[in-house]
Structure 1
Amino acid sequence: MEATTAIELTDNEFLRQFETTFDGKLAKMEYSLQERKIFLTKIFMPEGTEDHMNEFIIAVFKEVADREINLVPTSPEIAKFMRSNRRKYKKLLPVGINI
């Protein structure tokens, strides 16, 4: 099994979405930025790239942590990932928000 390579993440501020490509196909995660919080509202994985969803989410979570802002996962898929990895990413949630 190959080691996971770092994915190249782009913040398309005009469309308010993070973007990356897997196998030449564009994956997107829409967001809404309010004060010091980023709401992750929707994720789109092109057909055949669904296996990379967790890798994409991890890259976005790392970007959010690097910016030192809180995140609120409102997309069901992203909230599910957060619940499954609560210990690792709990510090990214705003105070008083439980997933």
Structure 2
Amino acid sequence: MTKLKIKTGDTVKVMAGDHKGEEGKVVKIFRDKNRAIVEGVNMISKHAKPSAENPQGGIVKKEASLHISNLMLVENGTTTKVGYRMEGDKKVRFSKKSKEVL
């Protein structure tokens, strides 16, 4: 598996694809597929059968995953690349634009 620079809870901006320019918070990351689900972005309509939780059934709107390469971290309203560096004996994530630890 590759090291991902985006984590759950980060605010990201979509840089490519149909949803380019949209921002949201990362809800879940699928490390094996290099994909992430971003809150309120890439909404799809899914047909749901009636069940105990949803006795009516019908069409449900939900987020679909996006590839990690199409996402960029947002820090203080601007997008930034993410790097890693050693501070003492601890490895930390930092913003390449502002050089601040994330």
Q: How does the TM-score come out when normalised to structure 2?
A: 0.26
Larger radius of gyration: 2
Q: What TM-score does the superposition give when structure 1 sets the normalisation length?
A: 0.26
Higher helix share: 1
